[in-house]
Amino acid sequence: MNKIDTLFKDLRKKRRKAFIVYIAAGDPSLSETEKLIVELEKSGVDLVEIGIPFSDPLADGPTIQRASQRALRGGANLKAILKMARSARKKTKIPLVFMTYYNPVYRYGVKKFIRDSKTSGVDGVIIPDLPPEEAKEVISVSRREDFSTIFLAAPTSTRKRLKEIASKASGFIYYVSLTGVTGARTELPRDIIEHVKCLKKITKKPVCVGFGISRPGQAKKISRLADGVIVGSAVIRVIEKNIGEEDLRKSVARFVKTIERAVHG
């Protein structure tokens, strides 16, 4: 069984919710990314999304865009990221997921990307600009490799579209809490609970909420209804503020633990 499926099965038994963190591979360096993955697991994170930097993002806000630019300037590329993931897998047990855009996957080769990702210890992929209707090859190869294909659902998704997304997704469904790009927000949309309830009536697959979550109170509110909470930009901001500092990982861990307690508490 895929590590992601095992994770949510175990969490359900414990009546706990998943705490998921996104970091950009290569920010501030690939060696530091590997160490951060290990530190995140120690800090109580259940799953890590590893962002593959891309020069022309669609869903990323300014914080993650800057992280991707730093990574690209530092020489991060797909082959080097796969090598880093392989090394990180030897030191961690939690599921790892790539988050990328379709262009790098297409240029690398869909079959090769999925097989090499699986060999490197990665358990699934999120491709924001690849709708399920156009993901036939990705889904087909992934199912053969027991590799999760995680699709995004949005507040603007119709009930019909939510059913389509739910039928094609594996691992979990990534519910985007707001319209727009990623980035920490002081407040979440008022209708988010209604939207998540609607999606959960359609599918029994885990539903995890991301985009905009940056505070323990927000994470706690989301964890009461969804199966998981995803935090990205808020963690990237901590990394950004501490680049070059010896206690970068400790600073990230301190922040992450405040969210972890809200989710798991």
Q: Catalytic site residues?
A: 49, 60
State phi, psi for 176 to the nearest 5 degrees: -80, 120
Dihedral in degrees, nearest 10, Cα atoms 26, 27, 33, 39: -170
Tokens of 212: 């905009």
Q: Which amino acid, 102?
A: Y
Dihedral class, residue 128 (left if φ above 0, else alpha if ψ from -120 to 50, else beta): alpha
> Which of 173, 195, 176, 196 has its CA nearest to residue 185?
176
Partners of 210 in the β-ladder: 176
Give the whole-angstrom CA distance, residue 224 versus residue 146. Answer: 29
CA 187 to chain centre: 21
Q: Residue 223: which of 203, 252, 193, 253 has the closest Cα?
A: 193
Measured CA to CA, the distance from residue 123 to residue 97 in angstroms comes to 6
**Structure token digits, residue 133:** 């209707």
Amino acid identity of 257?
K
**Residue spans of alpha helices (H) in 52-208:** 62-73, 78-89, 102-108, 110-119, 136-144, 159-168, 192-202
Cβ atoms of 230 and 208 closer than 8 Å: yes
